[in-house]
Amino acid sequence: MNAITGIAAEDLPAPAGAPILSVSGLRVSYGRIEAVRGVDLAVGAGEFVGIIGSNGAGKTSLLRAVTGVLKPAGGSVTFDGADTTGSGSHVMVARGLAMVPEGRMVFADQSVRDNLLLGAFTRIKADPQGVAADIDRMTRMFPRLGERIDQQAGTLSGGEQQMLAIARGLLSRPKLLVIDELSLGLAPKILDMLFPVLTQLNREGLSILLVEQMASYALAVTHRTYVMENGRVLFDGESKALAGDDRVLDAYLGRRGKH
């Protein structure tokens, strides 16, 4: 039973399997600044989980600790059955966790194709044919990347760069895809195109953890959502239920005590 939401585990949609990712008591500090102050979180295999919360709530820091970009100050991360607390990000990718970072971080001075090849860095030696086939698959999923396959990634539009970042992440054939701020700087039209792709990927069996500032999108596509504030998980629950929850809107616009 979750103390805050009052929702028992059996009320949630049945997770497809054991958790692929589970985080417990995670803390992240920058020097003396504590950005994440003890977070518990789990993503079931095949689940699509969101984290929402205002800026500075600690979402990105949480993701960075999970994906190995930085070392947590405390707590543990278990991924795919192994304790991966403090493993570097290149190790996590090899284990099957890929990340689409905030701001996309495509390799702007290299071609779209090279970006995709780099996405497959951990497996290209072992499986060059598989990588080639996957690149084909990506260009079908995102035809605009196919059209610009030899163009420098830096010349792509923001939306195209986000597609590239997703495709690059997928090329490592991850078990869990972690996405940070998909919507950042993107027009609604592009988001309306990108979110269904994620839903489709999830239906095909990919577990996804999505951090998103735009709560409406996150709540619409995910199974379950955590709401963070001030480095802690405020509450979590089924996304459908949270979409109608006053506390979510209040947390964003400060409309406290108006109901």
Partner 1 sequence: MSGKALGWLALALFAIVLAVFPWTGDLIGERWPTSYELRLVIRAMIIAIVVIGLNLLVGFAGLVSLGQAALYGLGAHVAALLSLRAGFSFVESMAFAVLIPAMMGAVLAFPTVRVRDVYLTVITIAFGLVFVNILRDWVSVTGGASGLANLPRPTILGERLMATRAASFNYYYIVLLCLLVALWVQYAMANSRYGRALRAASQSENAARALGVNVVAVRTLAFAVSAGFAGLAGGLFANLALFVNYETFTFTASIELLLMVILGGAGTMAGPILGTGTLFAAQQFLQGLGEWQTFGYGLLLALVLFLMPRGIVGSLAALRARVLAKPEARQTGAWPNWGPGLETITAAPDERGQVTMQAQGLTLRFGGLTAVNNVAMEVRSGTVHALIGPNGAGKSSLLNVISGFYRASEGEVRVFGQAVANAAPYTLARLGVARSFQNTELFGQMTVLDNVLVGAQPHFRSGFIETILRLPRFRREERAAREEALRLLGFVGLSDFAAEEARNLPFGHQRRLEIARALALRPKLLLLDEPAAGLTHGEIEDLVNLIRGLADRGMTVILVEHHVDMIMAVSDRVTVLDYGEVIADGTVAEVQANPRVIEAYFGAGSEAEQTEAAA
Partner 2 sequence: MEAVTQYLLTGLSVGSVYAMVGLGFYVMWTAAKAVNFNFGDIFMLGAVLTVVAIDQGIPLLPAAVLAVAAAAIAAAAIERGFVRPFNREANAIGWMLTTIAVGTMIESATTALFGSNPRGLPSPLAETPIRLGGAGIYPQELLLPVALIIVAVGLELFYRRTMLGRAMRAVAWNRTAAGLVGIDADRITLIAFGIAGVLGALAGLLIGPVVQASSTMGAVIGLKGFMVAIIAGIANARGVVIAGVLYGVAEKFIEGYLSTAARDAIGFTLMVLLLLLFPQGLFGRKEIKKV
Which residues of the chain form contacts with partner 1 (CB under 8 A)?
A: 31-35, 54-56, 181, 183-185, 188, 191-192, 213-217, 219-220, 230, 243-246, 248-250, 252-256, 259
117 binds partner 2 (CB under 8 A): yes
Using the rule CB under 8 A, which residue among 45, 118, 193, 234 binds partner 2?
A: 118
Q: Nearest distance from residue 259's CB to partner 2, in Å?
A: 41
Contact status: 172 vs partner 2 (CB under 8 A): yes
Select the span of 13-21, 33-41, 106-114, 237-245 touching partner 2 (CB under 8 A): 106-114
Q: Using the rule CB under 8 A, which residue among 21, 57, 99, 167 binds partner 2?
A: 99
Q: Give the other-Cβ count within 10 Å of 176's Cβ.
A: 24
Among 22, 110, 151, 199, binds partner 2 (CB under 8 A): 110
Nearest to partner 1 of 195, 226 (CB atom): 195
Which residue reads 């190995």 in tokens? 68
Q: Which does residue 255 touch among partner 2, partner 1, none (CB within 5 to 8 A, set by kind)?
A: partner 1
- What is the smallest separation between the CB atom of 122 and partner 2, expressed in angstroms? 4
Whichever of 73 and 191 has its CB closer to partner 1, that residue is 191
Q: What are phi and psi of 242, to 5 degrees?
A: -65, -30
d(CA 43, CA 208): 8
Does 124 bind partner 2 (CB under 8 A)? Our answer is: yes
| Contact of residue 244 among partner 2, partner 1, none (CB under 5-8 Å per partner type) | partner 1
Q: What residue ranges bind partner 2 (CB under 8 A)?
A: 67-69, 88-90, 93-94, 98-99, 101, 105-110, 114, 117-119, 121-122, 124-125, 168-169, 172
